[in-house]
Amino acid sequence: MVSRLRVLQFLSASALALVLAGCGAPLSATWQGFPPDATGQADGKDTPRADAGPDCAQVKCVALTFDDGPGPHTESLLDVLDEHEAKATFFLIGKDVVKFPDIVRDEAARGHEIGNHTWSHQDLAKISVAAGQRELSKTDAAIKEVTGAAPTVMRPPYGTIREDHMKSLDLPVAMWSVDTFDWKTRDAKKTVKAAEKVVPGSIVLMHDIHPSTIEAMPKMLTDLKARGFHFVTVSQLVGDPKPGTDYKTGRQAAAGN
Ligand SMILES: [Zn+2]
């Protein structure tokens, strides 16, 4: 009995020590995300960035996508997405990845998909293949440097890309089927309204650099969830996207599911 008591005393002392040690390291007010090695994303090869998610051939899925970030409003968007257990895809501008590396790291750590949107938002219909490849590879490297993993998908700025660029790509191309025109209206209500056109398999185009888009998100997510939608990344929606192929939609669950 004595030895058991000593063990108990030792255990409580250890627990107390842990609590005290914890006091010296206050938890941050905002979640900083897992380090890359804790999420299995460190090598960036063969390890999926996020889990497979719901089976979009069976249940209604939609891929919400956000272009032109990261920016000063992105972190509040990440919090709204977390509150609704929604995963999304972010198409990043390379020169802003190096400006806001912590936000990009946080996007990846929270299970969102990271896409390449060129280094300086170039129209790939207007520049040479070599120049386009420089835009993309510089951005790939910046994202890999920050998150530990290369992007898994790309979206050409303005949704325009020539066939010769297409053939040179080693990433799948994500276009969209629902344009919210959030960049044009800058009106949260109109952005919410635009999402009424979402059907199973839709890819929705938005931009996380506009405050009105972030403002639209709680209602848009609530409305879509009430209609039975699951919020997934582009790769989860499509299933197994192929490099050099463009996707406007993903898998579509049969009506009634
Ligand atoms: Zn763009």
What pLDDT, on the 0 to 100 scale, is given for residue 83?
Answer: 98
In a domain, 124, yes or no: yes
Section 49-78 average pLDDT: 91
- The total domain count for the chain is 1
Average pLDDT, the chain: 85
Residue of 112, 207, 210, 230 marked active site? 207
Of the chain, the percentage scoring pLDDT greater than 70 comes to: 79
Report the alpha-carbon distance of residue 67 to residue 252 in Å, rounded: 23
69 CA to middle of ligand 1, Å? 9
In a domain, 48, yes or no: yes
159 CA to middle of ligand 1, Å? 8
Residue of 67, 106, 140, 182 marked active site? 67
- C-alpha closest to that of 142 among 122, 123, 115, 121: 115
If one compares 20 and 228, the residue with the highest pLDDT of the two is 228
What pLDDT, on the 0 to 100 scale, is given for residue 5?
Answer: 45
75 CA to middle of ligand 1, Å? 19
Would the pLDDT of 248 be above 50?
A: yes
34 CA to middle of ligand 1, Å? 28
20 CA to middle of ligand 1, Å? 49
**pTM, entire model:** 0.80
Domain CATH number, residue 184: 3.20.20.370
Report the alpha-carbon distance of residue 152 to residue 158 in Å, rounded: 19
Section 129-149 average pLDDT: 98
Tally Cβ neighbours within 10 Å of residue 166. Answer: 16
In a domain, 29, yes or no: no
In a domain, 3, yes or no: no
Q: Which domain holds residue 220?
A: 36-247
In a domain, 238, yes or no: yes
What pLDDT, on the 0 to 100 scale, is given for residue 53?
Answer: 87
Question: Known catalytic residue: 67?
Answer: yes
In a domain, 143, yes or no: yes
In a domain, 12, yes or no: no
In a domain, 31, yes or no: no
What pLDDT, on the 0 to 100 scale, is given for residue 52?
Answer: 75
